[in-house]
C-alpha cells in the first residue's frame, strides 16, 4: 500500500503531493510495485493543528479528481463521515479508519458503502491504547463493532505510531516483535510503520533517514504474519517482501 499525503502538514515531506502532482506520484507508486494507494488529506501526528472539515473535503476531492480512471485501487484515509460522503462520488475501493469504527455515524456510512475498511485498534480515539493489552482489547472492540454494523470484510491494523505524546516507543516495538499474536483474529493484517517516530527514537534519525529502520521492522512484521504493508517507500518495500518470500520458500 503506497501512501499519498494531500496534506502539507505531513511529517514526511516527500510523501506530500499537491493536487497537480497527485497523478504523477500515483503513477510512480504503481511503477514501483504498489498494489493499492492510500490517500489522506490531514495529518494525525501529535501537536498538528486540526484542519477544518471543509478543507479536508476540498483536498480529497481535488486529489480524487486528478486520479479519475487510474488503474489501481484507491483507499481513503479519513475519520470524518463528511469527507467519506464527498469521496463516495468518486471511485474509491477501500476505507482506512484509524478511529476503529468508534464513530457510529461513520461506521454506519462505511457499512452502507459496501467498501472494505482497514480498521485500526482504537477504543474511543485513534491510537488511544497505551499498552499491548489495551491494543488487544481495542481490537476486540473493533471486531464487536464490525459485527454490530454487519461489516464482514475488513482488515485489522494494530495501530503502530505515536498517536499521542503519552505513548512511547516501547509499545510500537512490542507490536512489531509480537505481531504474530494478531493472527489469532484470523483477519488480514496491515502494518503501518513507515518512517514513524519510534524508529527515530531508536536510530536518532529524522523521518528522511528512517528507511533502513523501516525495512528492518517491515521484515519483522512480515515474519509475524502481516499481509499488507503501508509504506512511503514502495520500491524498497517491494524488494523487502520479495526477499522475505524467497527466503520462506527455501525453508
Q: Which long-range contacts (CB under 8 A, 24 or more apart) does 181-184 make?
A: 181/136, 182/139, 182/156, 182/158, 182/224, 182/225, 183/224, 183/225
Quick check: 240 and 218 in contact, CB under 8 A? yes
In the set 162, 195, 196, 210, the catalytic residue is: 196
Three state DSSP letters for 61-94: HHHHHHCCCCCCCEEEECCCHHHHHHHCCCCCCE
* Residue with the three cell numbers 499519498: 4
Per the annotation, the verdict on 183 as an active-site residue is no
DSSP notation for 26-57: HHHHHHHT-S-EEEE-S--STTPPPPPHHHHH
Catalytic residue, candidates 150, 230, 249, 251: 230
First and final C-alpha spacing in the chain: 27
Our answer to whether residue 130 is catalytic in this structure is no
Helix residue ranges, H only, 77-187: 81-87, 104-113, 132-148, 169-177
Nearest alpha carbon to residue 59 among 78, 33, 34, 45: 78
HSE of 104, CA atoms in CB hemisphere, 13 A: 1
Residues annotated as catalytic (active site), given as ranges: 196, 230
Amino acid at each position: 500500500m503506497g501512501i499519498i499525503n494531500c496534506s502539507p502538514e505531513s511529517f514526511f515531506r516527500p510523501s506530500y503531493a499537491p493536487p497537480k502532482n497527485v497523478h504523477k506520484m500515483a503513477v510512480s507508486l504503481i511503477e514501483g510495485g504498489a498494489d493499492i494507494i492510500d490517500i489522506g488529506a490531514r495529518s494525525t501526528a501529535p501537536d498538528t493543528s486540526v484542519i477544518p472539515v471543509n478543507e479536508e473535503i476540498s483536498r480529497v476531492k481535488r486529489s480524487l479528481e486528478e486520479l479519475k480512471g487510474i488503474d489501481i485501487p484507491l483507499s481513503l484515509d479519513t475519520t470524518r463521515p463528511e469527507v467519506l460522503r464527498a469521496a463516495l462520488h468518486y471511485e474509491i475501493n477501500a476505507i482506512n479508519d484509524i478511529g476503529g469504527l468508534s464513530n457510529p455515524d461513520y461506521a454506519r456510512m462505511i457499512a452502507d458503502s459496501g467498501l472494505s475498511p482497514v480498521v485500526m485498534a482504537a477504543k474511543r480515539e485513534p491510537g488511544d491504547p497505551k499498552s499491548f493489552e489495551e491494543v488487544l482489547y481495542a481490537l476486540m472492540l473493533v471486531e464487536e463493532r464490525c459485527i454490530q454494523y454487519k461489516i464482514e470484510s475488513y482488515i485489522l491494523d494494530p495501530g503502530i505510531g505515536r498517536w499521542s505524546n503519552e505513548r512511547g516507543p516501547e509499545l510500537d516495538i512490542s507490536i512489531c516483535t509480537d505481531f504474530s499474536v494478531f493472527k489469532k483474529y484470523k483477519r488480514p493484517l496491515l502494518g503501518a510503520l513507515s518512517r514513524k517516530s519510534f524508529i527515530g527514537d531508536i536510530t536518532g534519525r529524522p523521518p528522511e533517514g528512517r528507511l533502513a529502520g523501516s525495512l528492518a521492522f517491515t521484515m519483522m512484521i512480515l515474519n509475524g504474519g502481516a499481509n499488507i504493508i503501508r509504506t512511503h517507500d514502495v520500491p524498497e518495500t517491494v524488494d523487502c517482501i520479495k526477499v522475505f518470500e524467497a527466503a520462506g520458500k527455501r525453508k
